[in-house]
Structure 1
Amino acid sequence: MNFPISIKANINSHNGNFSRDIEIQGGLTVLIGPNGGGKTHLLRGLKQPLASIVPGKKVRFLSAGRMGLLEQYRSDYNGHHGSNPDYDGANFGSKHDTTRRHQTETLNGDFQTLSERADILIKVQERLRKLFKRDLIIEWDAGTLKVVFARLDTTSKPYSSGREASGLLHLVGILAALYDDEVGALLIDEPEVSLHPQLQSFLLNEIISAAGHPSEGGYKKIVIMATHSTEMLRITKPSDLTSLIFCHDLDKPPVQLNPSDEQLKNRKLQTLIARLGQEHKLSLFCRRPLLVEGPSDVMIASFISNKLELHLEAAGSQLLPVIGKGQMPVVVKFMRLLGKNPVVLADADAFTDDMDLVQCFLANSPAADASASKLGAPSAIKLASSTYSDFCSLVGPNWGDISKLAEGHPYCVNAEEPVDDKVKRRSAFCTLMSLAGSDLKGLINADKWSSMKDRLEVVLRLLEESGCFILRKGAIESYYQASDIYTSEGKPTAAVDEIEFLDQIPIAEIREKLGDLVRCIEHASDGKRIDEAESLRDILLSIAAPAAARLSANEKTTTQDINILAKTILGERANIFKCSVDGEKLTIDIESKILNVNGFPVTIDKNDDVVKIIERVLRSNA
């Protein structure tokens, strides 16, 4: 069965019993509406009919109050504890609860899943380690499930889950449910509960990644969630609206758009939707806002962030469009006034027109001055000022040297006649920064232009170290591979078309063609990338090394011997791997369908250096 799927939800409420007809258009459906609008009733009413849609899979319901019984250890829940909760007594049930983990509507069920599924635990741990500098340990204490957290950025001791932030507990539970490939449909009531706005954006990415039809394989599942948060909505095109269900009142049928509605094809509506977003509000919550020049820049940068799995929002950044000429320095100063550390991705004219933006990043910057002093300059701003002045002096009288090439740049093509000095500087800069090799040497006064390019690169590197990235080719449209680089109208629409093209090409090519943007996004996100191979390394070595040693010491070692050894060493985690012996060779394959790790199966000869082989295989995932 494929989408769309028609479902009749049976509602059992305090106002009586009734049914609601719902169309599931894709992997993710979102119920929105006010408190009392009937979202939770509808969500619960979908549980039973979904069971027939995902045969052989579980239907999991996560309530908004999913902290459940855990709260008794995190608060003085009855007023008898003198405001001293029993933090260290926090637990997630007993061994007897494991068989009911998919029926349990609280976090207990999800942490029980983590105790049973080592591969899901690895996926969760990797995200906690890289994005939140946390680790968690699952342990059984006299038949009771305990969870211990540890901070990776301090030397403090591990601590009970009863002391961890409720937002992280919610996040861990939802991630475990999302990654569980035994679940075919997941119903989540208010996934944003206790989550910081940037964590909501990260969770939405993970939800979208998991959403789909179970027949697609992996851990794809139908996800239906009810939310009050605009951060849990992603609307980039009209068709996204059809996955929204508007609940206005419990006693009234919900409203859902028909995909065949002609209004959804209206170009003005498409442009409007392409500009929707919560960037301005979200930027107030992040540590390192990424300021860009407009909606097209937001769309392209957001795509690159997701494509490269850099997770801007989870890393404490947030895209923020700054509309209006000359507004970027003003917004940078405002953000700093709020105690934030803004990163800028600006068009070339922000550098060639004046020194205002450069002043924001290089004036009174000890780090930039230190870098400049290594180059023999008195300060970063003086180095930049002298370079800028000399560049302007070079372009004026020597425009003819480069004009034949520069006049084809969008800055010139889209400019009003006659072309003034400002446009000449813009076009000359972009042309010069794009030239290399024989093209650069072929210019009249090539030595002067080549020397100027080197000096400009030094200044641009200083700016990038300080968080200011200049688009060397001009505006974002100058980097387009499929859409018109001369686009001056309908820019969001052109950006949508460009994204569709970029989504089909290899990541390596995106890094090459859009290097300026990639460097900026890596800087804003601190370059953190999800790499499950790293989390798998120690576990793999703990079995590969002793297994290879046993094979070397005993020629009669069998596949069964190695698998028993793995079980002894790793316990339940041994189920991640499948080991086999063929003569003097050991082969280790990965059994999990949800871990995204390349390089398997790994074959090791009894005389091989196990560590080098494992490191080489896992490095291939970088």
Structure 2
Amino acid sequence: MSFPICLAATVSAHNGSYQRRITLNRGLTVLLGPNGSGKTHLLRSLKNSLPAHMAGKQVRFLSAGRMGLMERFRSDYDGQRGNIRYDEATYGSKADAARRHRTETLSGDFQTLAERADILIKIQERLRKLFRRDVLIDWDGGNLKVSFSRTDHAGNPYSSGREASGLMHLVGILAALYDDDVGALLLDEPEVSMHPQLQAFLLREMIGVAGFPAVGSNKKIIVIATHSTEMLQIQSADDLSSLVFCYDLAVDPVQIENDAAELKNKKIQGLISRLGQEHKLSLFSKRPLLVEGPSDVIICSALAQKANVHLEGAGSQLLPVIGKGQMPIVVKLLRLLGKEPICLADADAIADGLDLANAYIADDQKAADIAGTHGFCDANTMASSIFSDFCKLVEARWEEVASYAESHSYWIERSQSEEVQAKRRATLCTLFLIADCELEKLADDRAWIQIKQRFKVLFEMFAECGLHILRKGSIESYYNEGDCSRSIGKPIDAVNEIGRLNELSGSTIETQYADVLRCLRYAASVEPIREADALRDLLLSVVAPAHARLKAGEESYDFNMLARQILGDRSKIFRLSVIDRKLVVEIASKIIDLGRFPISIARDEDPLARINAALASS
């Protein structure tokens, strides 16, 4: 037997079970996905699928909470311990050794160190040379004790209860890796508690033993579920076939076939060979947001914070794509991985051609529907028609728009060989930079205003499909109150722009950066977090009956007692009182900040309307 191995697994969930299939194309397979996407459920289900491929060896599963009962000796785990019992840490009795491969915590691996002197030697050597530590295994009254000592200075050994949790995790995982009785190791979040460099070391050790299990060999199948880029080694297109993307427990995971034709594409192979940490981060998101460079990342991050747009929380991740023409390739690659890439592109991405646009609108039903309402048979035909008419207009009537277009950086920074291209770029931006009334004056036949209206429809269609265009040019064209004569700048310019943004009002930012903010909100694709919404029902459940009593003349009634009767302890969030014959509602919590409170509600006012108005503006 050899790779690939096709595994069928039954994933148990709270609402039933699901049948899942994944393929192990090599020794190390990585499960990726956000919290709650089903990685751990899938990983655990493989315990029952792998034994047939083990050549008589064990399947070992290590949970993300693998410290397990060890926490009794490392923390005040229930708030009643007082002094923490560091020095009493033990890891079971000799009878527990028989269950060491079934134990899902590190206790099983420390039992392995007690059983296997050869594995202990391998770990001791690495600890001594790399971390200036030694690990000691002893039996004390029938209980297994683990101690550590420092090799870089004199001192007595100390209990494992006092050792750094990252090193404890490392020792346990290494014991499982070096155990040749184990044919498959299933690791949930191997990065837990580990410094990035420690994670990188562990990955190298895993790669060293990953392979097909066989008698007389320590090669083993390793499957991990991780949130760490340090646990990914992607050096070639073939490595992608060992990634399994989980998006939801009830949805089949996504995995590229090992022989997928797309992996043979030279451009995709070149892109993968250049993957950096930022690209790896995008592998952990469902909706990566592609931008055209580090300056875009800086500005988008700042605007997202100013506008309370939670990109990462919504499963998005800013990903700078360097190099013109790379965007369509990256989009294609991310879609292969089951992702929904969103793009914020400079205007030249459209002015230069439709390659990027076609990557978004081809075979997209929303785009086809929009094109149909405008009399086109499909979205590509619509885009091609508008782009072609635009190019013809610029070529034939440049002089009509030149006085405006020549002030744009696309024209100012042009080279002689790019003059036709520069005209298209500068003109496209000019259509959106000058007022419609000015465009009307450029030609008696209204050609320029008409082509702008057609582009607006086209850009709306692109946006519906996830492609957003910076209509002023590049991100720098939005700086300094829209000075579009500036050339593409450096990250330091973006940092300086953030300082200016902090001095602007929210409405000014909304106007100036409308194109960018629209894209960010599309990428976040969630409603804004408003604590007022969560508070509304609680308030109304109390204010309505309280106001009714006030209206009936019961001004001396204890309205806070009424609130407690209705809501119990939740009533502590706010206070009710009567001042000047009005019901006064205050927010008592120090962590919920609603600017329009306290509010007063007169007898003849509608409490529902009053509360809703106050919460709507908070």
Give SS of 1:593's match.
coil
The 1:482/1:365 distance shift into structure 2, 3 A limit, reads closer
1:416-451 Cα offsets, whole Å, 9 max, x none, are 247611100000000012222332222134611011
Return the alpha-carbon distance in structure 2 between the equivalents of residues 357 and 613 of structure 1. 50
The amino acid that maps onto 1:565 is: L
The 1:483/1:452 distance shift into structure 2, 3 A limit, reads closer
What number of residue pairs does the alignment pair up? 367
Aligned to 1:355: 354
Aligned to 2:506: 507
Return the alpha-carbon distance in structure 2 between the equivalents of residues 229 and 497 of structure 1. 32
Residue 284 of structure 1 and its aligned partner are, at CA, apart by 0.4
The 1:488/1:404 distance shift into structure 2, 3 A limit, reads closer
Return the alpha-carbon distance in structure 2 between the equivalents of residues 194 and 581 of structure 1. 57
The 1:277/1:579 distance shift into structure 2, 3 A limit, reads farther
CA contact (8 A) 1:483 1:494 kept: no
Residue 598 of structure 1 and its aligned partner are, at CA, apart by 2.4
Matched, 1:557 2:555: yes
Q: Which residue of the other structure, out of 589, 596, 610, is the alignment partner of 1:592?
A: 589
Correspondences of 1:23-102 after superposition (within 5 Å): none
Residue 407 of structure 1 and its aligned partner are, at CA, apart by 0.3
Give SS of 1:326's match.
coil
Identity %: 45
Residue 490 of structure 1 and its aligned partner are, at CA, apart by 5.3
Matched, 1:575 2:572: yes
CA contact (8 A) 1:395 1:424 kept: yes
Residue 485 of structure 1 and its aligned partner are, at CA, apart by 5.1
Residue 583 of structure 1 and its aligned partner are, at CA, apart by 4.1
Give SS of 2:584's match.
strand
Give SS of 1:613's match.
helix
CA contact (8 A) 2:411 2:422 kept: yes
Aligned to 1:617: 614
Correspondences of 1:292-311 after superposition (within 5 Å): 292-311=291-310
1:550-587 Cα offsets, whole Å, 9 max, x none, are 1112x2422x6112111222222222112110243101
The amino acid that maps onto 1:577 is: F
1:267-326 Cα offsets, whole Å, 9 max, x none, are xxxxxxxxx994211100111110111111111111111221211111011111111111
CA contact (8 A) 1:483 1:498 kept: no
Residue 484 of structure 1 and its aligned partner are, at CA, apart by 6.9
Aligned to 1:423: 422
Residue 506 of structure 1 and its aligned partner are, at CA, apart by 2.0
Residue 371 of structure 1 and its aligned partner are, at CA, apart by 1.7
Give SS of 1:528's match.
coil
The amino acid that maps onto 2:562 is: L
Residue 594 of structure 1 and its aligned partner are, at CA, apart by 1.1
Question: What is the TM-score with the length of structure 2 in the denominator?
Answer: 0.55
Aligned to 1:253: none
CA contact (8 A) 1:487 1:494 kept: no
Matched, 1:320 2:316: no
The 1:407/1:487 distance shift into structure 2, 3 A limit, reads closer
Correspondences of 1:233-382 after superposition (within 5 Å): 278-382=277-381
The 1:567/1:517 distance shift into structure 2, 3 A limit, reads same
CA contact (8 A) 2:577 2:584 kept: yes
The amino acid that maps onto 2:437 is: S
Return the alpha-carbon distance in structure 2 between the equivalents of residues 361 and 319 of structure 1. 18
Residue 481 of structure 1 and its aligned partner are, at CA, apart by 2.2
Return the alpha-carbon distance in structure 2 between the equivalents of residues 444 and 474 of structure 1. 24
Matched, 1:458 2:466: no
Unaligned runs of 5+ in 2: 1-43, 45-60, 62-75, 85-163, 167-186, 192-226, 231-274
1:222-268 Cα offsets, whole Å, 9 max, x none, are xxxxxx9789xxxxxxxxxxxxxxxxxxxxxxxxxxxxxxxxxxxxx
Q: Which has the higher contact order (CA 8 A, sep 6+)?
A: 1
CA contact (8 A) 2:409 2:487 kept: no
Residue 596 of structure 1 and its aligned partner are, at CA, apart by 2.8
Return the alpha-carbon distance in structure 1 between the equivalents of residues 308 and 357 of structure 2. 30
Query: Where do 4+ consecutive residues of structure 1 move more than 2 Å?
Result: 97-105, 193-197, 228-231, 276-279, 416-419, 481-490
Correspondences of 1:488-527 after superposition (within 5 Å): 488=487, 491-527=490-526
Return the alpha-carbon distance in structure 1 between the equivalents of residues 573 and 586 of structure 2. 9
Q: CA RMSD in A?
A: 3.2
Return the alpha-carbon distance in structure 2 between the equivalents of residues 483 and 398 of structure 1. 26
The 1:196/1:350 distance shift into structure 2, 3 A limit, reads farther
Return the alpha-carbon distance in structure 2 between the equivalents of residues 103 and 575 of structure 1. 31
For the pair shown, which has the larger CA radius of gyration, 1 or 2?
2
Unaligned runs of 5+ in 1: 1-74, 76-82, 84-96, 106-187, 198-227, 232-275
Correspondences of 1:93-112 after superposition (within 5 Å): none
The amino acid that maps onto 2:350 is: F
